[in-house]
Amino acid sequence: MGLGRLRGRLDQLQGEANLTLDDARDLLADFQDGFGLKLVVDAARLRPLLKELFMGSSVDQIELPIVLKIDPSVDTKG
């Protein structure tokens, strides 16, 4: 690989890294105003687990089908 091609590739990688860093800075700026959390429960998968738990099953640990979503568009300081 020639030095010119190598330099071009390095410039391309630096440009992509700068874009990624800018995206991260924008996201952090959004988070400074606060953010919301959404808790999503898959009820169809949760019902059998709760039934098993409340029917006296000897389960030591149960994994709940829950998804936590971060919503940076929520302004908690506004």
Token pair listed for 22? 């800018």
Confidence (pLDDT) at 66: 87
With contact defined as beta carbons under 8 Å apart, do 67 and 40 qualify?
yes
Confidence (pLDDT) at 25: 92
Confidence (pLDDT) at 60: 75
Confidence (pLDDT) at 78: 64
Confidence (pLDDT) at 62: 74
Rounded to whole angstroms, the Cα distance separating 31 from 26 reads 9
Please, what are the averages of pLDDT over each run of 10 residues along the chain (78 residues)?
89 95 88 83 86 77 83 74
pTM above 0.85, yes or no: no
Output the CA torsion sign for 11, 21, 71, 63. positive
Confidence (pLDDT) at 1: 64
